[in-house]
Structure 1
Amino acid sequence: MESKSAILALAALAQSTRLHVFRLLVKHEPEGLPAGDIARELGIPHNTMSSHLGILSRAGLVRSERRSRSIIYRADLARFREVATFLLQDCCGGHPDVCTPILDVLTPCCPPKETADG
């Protein structure tokens, strides 16, 4: 990943509404959410939400897909992984123990979702 691409993605996430949108979309992977649902969930006017989604899309952090009359937005987790990898690449300068606390926090990344059966 080039620095310019990483800066674009990080700049997109450096605004509170866009950060909330991205985190909400991550929670709704892989189904995604319609733009209207995102706006309602976060209490943001639709035209403002459209602008924020456009910025996240141009940064490559969200993708959209038309389904009937709705546009469904999804977090692009592969792109986010590229950004995170770019930030952490060579983080330890040859000392893996420096990176261990970061890896410990991420492993496992999330507990499995409980089913209605238990």
Structure 2
Amino acid sequence: METQSAISRLSALAQENRLAVFRLLVRAGQEGVAAGEIARTLAVPPNTLSAQLTILSNAGLVRSRREGRSIIYFADYDGMSELLIFLMEDCCQGRSEVCVPLADAANRVVCCNPTEGTRQ
């Protein structure tokens, strides 16, 4: 990932409503959430939400699909993974104990450990 892409993604997340939208969509998984439901859940006016979703989408963190009259938004897990890898690629400098807490946290998350039924 290029530095400018990372900056764009980090900038997109550096705002309270956009971060809340992104976290909601990450929790929702690939099923996604309709725009109207996002607005209701987060108590964000539709026009504000539209602008926030555009910024997240342009940054490569959110994607959408049309289902009938609804637009369903979902997190772009590839974009999220690229950002996380970019942030961590120079981690540790040969000191694995630096990254152990991150690896432990990743192993506790259901999506990363499909044999678990719930988050620990």
Following superposition, the deviation at residue 103 of structure 1 comes to 1.1
4+ long deviations beyond 4 Å: none
Mean Cα displacement is larger for which, 104-113 or 81-90? 104-113
Structure 2 distance, partners of 1:34, 1:59, is 20
Unaligned runs of 5+ in 2: 111-115
SS in 1 for 2:108: coil
Following superposition, the deviation at residue 61 of structure 1 comes to 0.3
Q: 2:117 aligns with which of 84, 109, 112?
A: 112
The residue that corresponds to 1:81 in the other structure is 81
SS in 1 for 2:92: coil
Following superposition, the deviation at residue 93 of structure 1 comes to 0.9
Structure 1 distance, partners of 2:17, 2:117, is 27
Identity %: 52
For normalisation by structure 2, the TM-score amounts to: 0.90
Structure 1 distance, partners of 2:42, 2:95, is 42
1:99 corresponds to 2:104: no
The residue that corresponds to 2:47 in the other structure is 47
The residue that corresponds to 2:113 in the other structure is none
- Computed over aligned residues only, the root mean square deviation of the Cα atoms, in angstroms, reads 1.4
Following superposition, the deviation at residue 30 of structure 1 comes to 1.6
Structure 1 distance, partners of 2:70, 2:98, is 46
SS in 1 for 2:72: strand
SS in 2 for 1:112: coil
Unaligned runs of 5+ in 1: 114-118
* Structure with more of its chain in helix, by fraction: 2
Structure 2 distance, partners of 1:112, 1:60, is 29
For normalisation by structure 1, the TM-score amounts to: 0.91
Structure 2 distance, partners of 1:80, 1:112, is 23
The residue that corresponds to 2:38 in the other structure is 38
